[in-house]
């Protein structure tokens, strides 16, 4: 198996019921890929992520993970016990101890240098997300799984965050599985997009998915113009500090327009 993780005909039920949350999902992620999962609230994105990580029971199908796969995971929600004091420094050493220098370098890397002695509960939302990312990266992951990682970040923070993700991929070769609502921005950074709504509605390159009727039906007004914007950004990148865009092709479409059919999965 070359894939880091592969799911076949995956089904998940709402806990304690036979009500499906996900049905017949086939998914895999290869080394070095950036794959983004989009879909409305409640469409099963976090459930898919947790199933891939082995955190929820499957109702159907199977999940295979490469033996010994190192995964860095930033969950959508983290329960922090506000009654228990915990510094950033201590949090970074859970569950595995890391050296001071390593912790400091990683905090600098994710843009929150010097916060070691701050209490976790006193960080801003955006600072906390960066600390979570730092903790995930400290384990030198082959696969980084990020569930809505830009929550609490401001707009420049979001853009910087995705640049950082692309840099990490370029430097470490880690694959990245991303759940996100930042449609336009994630599309630019992704190799492949998967649109979920209890099943896979459509998947393909960002361009294929943004032009898919299934995607438009799901995101409605929000997706209006996404493709146009996507093309515009690729043709005219005004972002001068962004020299190398690994995920995107700025110079138009080398493929044939007729090839741009997404793989639509129509649900019975």
The footprint of Mg ion (CB under 5 A) covers 45-46, 76
Site map for ligand ATP, 45-84, x if CB under 6 A? xxx----------------------------x--------
Tokens of 145: 């799984």
Distance between CA atoms of residues 217 and 224, nearest Å: 10
Burial class, 36, CB count within 10 angstroms (exposed 0-12 / middle 13-18 / buried 19+): buried
CA distances from 156 to 63, 76, 107 (A): 36, 20, 18
**36 sits near ligand ATP (criterion: CB under 6 A):** no
**9 sits near ligand ATP (criterion: CB under 6 A):** no
The one segment of 44-52, 61-69, 157-165, 247-255 that binds ligand ATP by CB under 6 A: 44-52
**150 sits near ligand ATP (criterion: CB under 6 A):** no
* 247 sits in which H/E element: none
Question: Can you tell me which of 44, 72, 206, 262 binds ligand ATP, judged by CB under 6 A?
Answer: 44
Which C-beta is closer to ligand ATP: that of 39 or that of 126? 39
> Contact 127/151 with Cβ under 8 angstroms?
no
> Contact 31/173 with Cβ under 8 angstroms?
yes
Question: Can you tell me which of 1, 9, 31, 42 binds ligand ATP, judged by CB under 6 A?
Answer: 42
Which C-beta is closer to ligand ATP: that of 15 or that of 156? 15
| Min separation Cβ 49 and ligand ATP, Å | 8
For residue 117, the partner it binds in ligand ATP, Mg ion, none, with Cβ less than 5 to 8 A by kind, is none
Instruction: Write a three-state SS string for 45-77.
Output: HHHHHHHHCCCCCCCEEEEEECCCCCEEEECCC
| Min separation Cβ 232 and Mg ion, Å | 29
Torsion angle, CA of 5/25/22/261, rounded to 10 degrees?
Answer: 120
| Min separation Cβ 113 and ligand ATP, Å | 30
Strand locations in 213-260, DSSP E? Answer: none
Residues that bind ligand ATP (CB under 6 A): 14-15, 21, 39, 41-47, 76
């Amino acid at each position: 198996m070359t894939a880091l993780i592969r799911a076949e005909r995956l089904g998940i039920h709402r806990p304690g019921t036979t009500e499906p949350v996900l049905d017949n999902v086939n998914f895999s992620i290869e080394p070095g890929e950036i794959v983004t999962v989009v879909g409305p609230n409640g469409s099963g994105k976090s459930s898919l992520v947790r199933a891939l990580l082995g955190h929820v029971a499957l109702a159907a199908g199977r999940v295979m993970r490469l033996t010994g796969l190192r995964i860095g995971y930033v969950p959508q929600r983290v329960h922090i016990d506000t009654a228990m004091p915990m510094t950033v420094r201590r949090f970074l050493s859970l569950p595995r101890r890391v050296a001071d220098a390593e912790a400091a370098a990683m905090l600098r890397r994710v843009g929150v240098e010097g916060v070691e002695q701050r209490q976790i509960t006193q960080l801003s939302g955006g600072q906390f997300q960066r600390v979570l990312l730092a903790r995930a990266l400290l384990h030198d992951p082959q696969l980084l799984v990020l569930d809505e990682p830009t929550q609490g970040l401001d707009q420049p923070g979001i853009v910087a965050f995705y640049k950082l993700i692309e840099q990490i991929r370029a430097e470490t070769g880690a694959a990245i599985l991303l759940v996100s609502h930042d449609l336009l921005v994630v599309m630019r950074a992704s190799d492949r997009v998967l649109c979920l709504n209890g099943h896979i509605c459509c998947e393909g390159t960002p361009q294929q998915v943004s032009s898919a009727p299934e995607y438009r039906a799901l995101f409605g007004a929000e997706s209006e113009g996404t493709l146009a914007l996507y093309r515009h950004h690729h043709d005219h990148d005004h972002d001068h500090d962004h020299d190398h865009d690994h995920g995107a092709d700025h110079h138009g479409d080398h493929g044939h327009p007729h090839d741009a059919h997404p793989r639509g999965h129509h649900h019975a």
